[in-house]
């Protein structure tokens, strides 16, 4: 039985659709851990992030935790349930303050601290990244307005 031109076209289209669906599935599987904008200290503790894996840590800078020695900065990020010590070598943003939202990019170290390579702070009095605000609201730590 010979296929008609219409059947051949439908077969090619179905084959291409299958290939595209398979490619999309593979890409999403490979990126599933990187799609998250940031992890809270609680999520890092629960999920056991491997040392050296690049991630983003988000939460509030704990009051009284920031220590600065030259360009070496040590501060504690918390989400109301857990806390994590972060180390950053460099100049922090001018708006970095204790008690405010922060997202730090970096990786976990073997001693359980977070080594930040970049720190992002609030840029005005009313802004907090939506993901940070939602997590902190869910934990009952922050009651501020929407982002």
Q: What whole-number distance in Å separates Cα of residue 98 and Cα of residue 130?
A: 19
The reply to whether 78 and 24 lie within a common domain is no
CATH number for the domain spanning 91: value is: 2.40.50.140
Number of domains forming the structure of the chain: 2
Q: What is the mean pLDDT of residues 122-142?
A: 67
For residue 43, the surrounding DSSP H or E stretch is helix 41-47
Q: What is the mean pLDDT of residues 61-69?
A: 92
The reply to whether 59 and 128 lie within a common domain is yes
Q: What pLDDT, on the 0 to 100 scale, is given for residue 147?
A: 43
- Domain-embedded: residue 145: no
Q: What whole-number distance in Å separates Cα of residue 11 and Cα of residue 70?
A: 66
The reply to whether 47 and 28 lie within a common domain is no
Q: Is 127 annotated as a binding residue?
A: yes
Q: What pLDDT, on the 0 to 100 scale, is given for residue 137?
A: 78
Q: Where does the pLDDT of residue 77 fall: very low under 50, low under 70, confident under 90, or very high at 90 and above?
A: very high
The reply to whether 16 and 53 lie within a common domain is no
Q: What whole-number distance in Å separates Cα of residue 1 and Cα of residue 14?
A: 20
- Domain-embedded: residue 125: yes
Res. 68: pLDDT tops 60: yes
Q: What is the domain range of residue 10? A: 1-32
Q: What whole-number distance in Å separates Cα of residue 127 and Cα of residue 130?
A: 9
Res. 143: pLDDT tops 70: no
Res. 76: pLDDT tops 90: yes
In degrees and rounded to multiples of 5, residue 27 shows phi and psi of: -65, -45
């Amino acid at each position: 039985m010979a296929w008609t031109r219409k059947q051949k076209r439908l077969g090619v289209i179905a084959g291409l659709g299958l290939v595209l669906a398979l490619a999309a599935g593979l890409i999403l599987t490979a990126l599933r851990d990187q799609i998250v904008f940031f992890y809270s200290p609680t999520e890092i503790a629960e999920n056991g992030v491997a040392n050296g894996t690049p991630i983003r840590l988000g939460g509030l800078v704990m009051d009284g935790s920031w220590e600065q020695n030259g360009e070496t900065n040590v501060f504690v990020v918390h989400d109301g349930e857990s806390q994590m010590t972060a180390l950053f070598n460099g100049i922090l943003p001018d708006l970095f303050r204790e008690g405010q939202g922060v997202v730090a990019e970096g990786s976990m170290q073997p001693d359980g601290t977070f080594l930040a390579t970049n720190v992002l702070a609030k840029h005005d009095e009313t802004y907090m990244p939506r993901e940070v605000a939602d997590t902190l609201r869910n934990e009952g730590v922050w009651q501020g307005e929407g982002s």
